[in-house]
Amino acid sequence: MFSDFAKAIGQLGDKRFQSVLLKGLGLTVALLVAIYLVFVWVIGIFVPDTFTLPLIGEITWVDNALSIGSFFLMIGLSVFLMVPVASAFTGLFLEEVSEAVEDVHYPGLPEVPRQSFSDMLLDSLGFLGVIVVANLIALVLYLLLNIAAPVIFWALNGFLLGREYFQMVAMRRLGREGAKAARKRHMPEIWLAGALMAIPLSIPLVNLLIPVLGAATFTHMFMRLEGGSTVGH
């Protein structure tokens, strides 16, 4: 799996991949900002619109959400918020990343019809819902086992993200049922790869590149594990 990631990194010099990377980076930032603003809005439901903090003074949620200080807060919160961002990314952009990888590294593959945007979006929203609910439930463990919280966070989200990314990549070539069967065959390696993806997602700024590189890495992983099954699809 490290070779899969190395191939994804190695393609950064490819002009087409750079275009995909820049678009993916822009989408990732947009998703992060959107999810952050939703987070601020939800917190605002439970906290008064205006309140006073010692030594700081009056705080207004809307002003705070648009302030320079809030930018750094958003970057800090990206340690947690980038997991749902990475999940939402799959339905919106994963196919374009996979196509860029296949064109360079696997040019002999038969073409596959593009999955409809609505189908990919619905699948991605379903995975996103599972990730949000699972993390809300796990929040109790994060609070009770604070020392072990990072490991729990990486293990849980590594499982969920690995499952989502591999499933979405595999569906392009094997269909829904074939992708599920492939995922079950390789779940231990998929889980480990997902955990290795979740760790850098916890590093501010670095995490902005991970959804694109993760999609490329899982495309290579799928071809390494199931490449022979793609012939004839």
Q: List the chain domain ranges.
A: 2-108+115-227
CA distances from 192 to 69, 88, 149, 161, 214 (A): 36, 21, 18, 10, 13
| Distance between CA atoms of residues 91 and 75, nearest Å | 23
Range in 31-35, 38-42, 98-102 the model is least confident about: 38-42
pLDDT at residue 59 is higher than 60: no
pLDDT tier at 48 (50, 70, 90 boundaries)? low
Buried-state track 78-87, b at ≥16 Cβ within 10 A, e below 16: bebbbbbbbb
Does residue 200 contact residue 210 with C-beta atoms inside 8 Å? yes
Q: Which residue has the tokens 């979006």?
A: 121
pLDDT at residue 5 is higher than 70: yes
3-state secondary structure the chain: CHHHHHHHHHHHHCHHHHHHHHHHHHHHHHHHHHHHHHHHHHHHHHCCCEEEECCCEEEEHHHHHCCHHHHHHHHHHHHHHHHHHHHHHHHHHHHHHHHHHHHHHCCCCCCCCCCCHHHHHHHHHHHHHHHHHHHHHHHHHHHHCCCCHHHHHHHHHHHHHHHHHHHHHHHHHHHHHHHHHHHHHCHHHHHHHHHHHHHHHCCCCHHHCHHHHHHHHHHHHHHHHHHHHHCCC
The percent helix, strand, coil of the chain (3-state, each to 5) is: 80, 5, 15
Average confidence score pLDDT of the chain: 83
How does pLDDT run across 123-181, given as a tens digit for each residue? Answer: 888 888 999 899 888 888 888 887 888 899 999 999 999 999 999 999 988 988 999 99
| Distance between CA atoms of residues 59 and 56, nearest Å | 8
| Distance between CA atoms of residues 219 and 41, nearest Å | 36
The predicted model scores a pTM of 0.82
Q: What is the largest CA-CA distance in the chain?
A: 68
